[in-house]
Amino acid sequence: AQSVTQLGSHVSVSEGALVLLRCNYSSSVPPYLFWYVQYPNQGLQLLLKYTTGATLVKGINGFEAEFKKSETSFHLTKPSAHMSDAAEYFCAVSLTGGGNKLTFGTGTQLKVEL
């Protein structure tokens, strides 16, 4: 079985500041890891994914994440927050051989202040 833990249900940053959203996973087999973003009353949009290969992955809107197997982490970062980044962010895991089904973390609400 797999699970995802997102530390901090709410994160607040100033515009222009570093964004760091934390995600740790538990998996019995090599995982595939994803970050999705959800704007109010909208669907889930893929930000980035890690499957194999390079552990630092870059996504849309300037976000990136690094897969660290030793720490079972997949934290999401962005060097400089923008007001438009305010949204809810979900980390998710699927398993190799698991048919693509995603298990989500509980989400982190990002607030960006002036």
Partner 1 sequence: AAGVIQSPRHLIKEKRETATLKCYPIPRHDTVYWYQQGPGQDPQFLISFYEKMQSDKGSIPDRFSAQQFSDYHSELNMSSLELGDSALYFCASSLGAWHSGANVLTFGAGSRLTVL
**Which residues bind to partner 1, rule: CB under 8 A?**
32, 34, 36, 41-46, 49, 51-52, 90, 94-107
Per the listing, tokens 């890690």 go with 50
What backbone phi and psi angles, to 5 degrees, belong to 64?
-145, 160
Strand partners, 113: 14
Q: Which is nearer to partner 1, 76 or 95 (CB)?
A: 95
Handedness of CA 78, 82, 84, 85 (dihedral sign): positive
What is the nearest approach in angstroms of partner 1 to the Cβ of residue 97? 5
Least distance CB 59 / partner 1 (angstroms): 12
Amino acid at 10: H
Spatial distance between the Cα atoms of 22 and 33, rounded to a whole number of angstroms: 13
Say how far apart CA 86 and CA 84 lie, in whole Å.
5
Q: Select 18 or 46, whichever has its Cβ closest to partner 1.
A: 46
Cβ closest to partner 1, residue 95 vs residue 112? 95
Q: Closest distance between partner 1 and the C-beta of residue 77, in Å?
A: 21
Least Å distance, CB 102 to partner 1, is 6
